[in-house]
Amino acid sequence: MNDLYRTCLRKGTNMTTGLQTGTDGIIRCSWPGRHVDYTAYHDYEWGYPVDDDRSLFEKICLEGFQAGLSWLTILRKRDHLRKAFADFDPAIVIRFERREIEKLLEDSTIIRHQGKIESTINNAARCLELMEEFGSLATYIWSWEPSQTTRVSSDSLPTFTPTSAALSRDLKARGWSFVGPTTIYAFMQAVGLVNDHLSGCFAHPKVEVSRKNLIRP
């Protein structure tokens, strides 16, 4: 038995299913580990359907910022990123100019990556174009909802899918950036286009109810 396996067992993680039993006795997906903030994100946000345009734009931008980093890093900087990018209001972000970019590059509370900062400003413009064409960003995003597949173990979780690849291609064709297939699948998971809480996780049926009750835009 290797050290990683022993560590996972001590933490209550089932290496086969990808589930863990928390100190609260609740069975959930194992990826949040024992981080309190990460667990809260898993329990109350991840996978629950999102259908308002500002939140969807924020999610896709944050997934772009996450590229090459851990989501926990983004989660812990999220409030600072919201402040820096005007609560991810695309109508405001689109007006950011060189002055704002230079200021952001000096802000140690956010991800100081020039390409990702400029991508967020570019994507704000592309977001407004989609809103004008489709009536809302939500209408466009939810039109890509795939058929649901229940994930029974961590081995069954893909990093991207044919749908995320197709959505990525369409967004890139429309001028979006930092929207590769893996980034887009993480976005789809986060906003509830799919329910990738594992079978056996307490949140799986709760997300299913929320998805069932959602009135698609």
* Domain membership flag for residue 21: no
Q: What contacts 157, CB < 8 A, 6 or more positions away?
A: 18, 151, 196, 198
| DSSP per-residue letters across 120-139 | HHHHHHHHHHHHHHHSSHHH
Helix ranges restricted to H, 85-180: 90-93, 98-105, 114-134, 137-142, 162-173
User: In which domain, by residue range, is 156 found?
Assistant: 53-213
Residue 176 falls in the annotated catalytic set: no
Query: How many Å apart are CA 88 and CA 170, to the nearest integer?
Result: 22
The verdict on residue 47 lying in a domain is no
Domain presence at residue 10? no
pLDDT at 29: 96
Catalytic site residue from 71, 142, 176, 185: 71
Q: What is the total count of domains within the chain? A: 1
Q: Is 53:137 a contact under the CB 8 Å cutoff?
A: yes
Is 15 within the bounds of a domain? no
142 is catalytic: no
Residue 37 in any domain: the answer is no
What was the pLDDT predicted at 9? Answer: 37
Per-residue pLDDT tens listing for the chain (217 residues): 233 333 343 344 454 579 999 999 999 999 999 999 999 999 999 999 999 999 999 999 999 999 999 999 999 999 999 999 999 999 999 999 999 999 999 999 999 999 999 999 999 999 999 999 999 999 999 999 998 888 877 888 899 999 999 999 999 999 999 999 999 999 999 999 999 999 999 999 999 999 999 999 9
167: domain CATH number is: 1.10.340.30
Q: Which is catalytic among the residues 31, 38, 63, 140?
A: 63
3-state SS, residue 63: helix
Q: In what order do the strands lie in the sheet with 27-29?
A: 13-14, 19-21, 27-29
What per-residue confidence (pLDDT) applies to 157? 87
Q: What is the dihedral of CA 190, 196, 201, 202, to 10 degrees?
A: 50
Q: Residue 105's CB: how many other CB atoms inside 10 A?
A: 12
Q: How far is residue 147's CA from residue 145's CA, in Å, rounded to a whole number?
A: 7
Q: Please report whether residue 40 resides in a domain.
A: no
In degrees, rounded to 5, the angle at the alpha carbon of residue 187 between the alpha carbons of residues 128 and 104 is 60
In a domain, 188, yes or no: yes
Residue 29 domain-assigned?
no
Instruction: Round to whole Å and give the CA distance between 29 and 15.
Output: 11
Q: State the pLDDT at residue 150.
A: 80
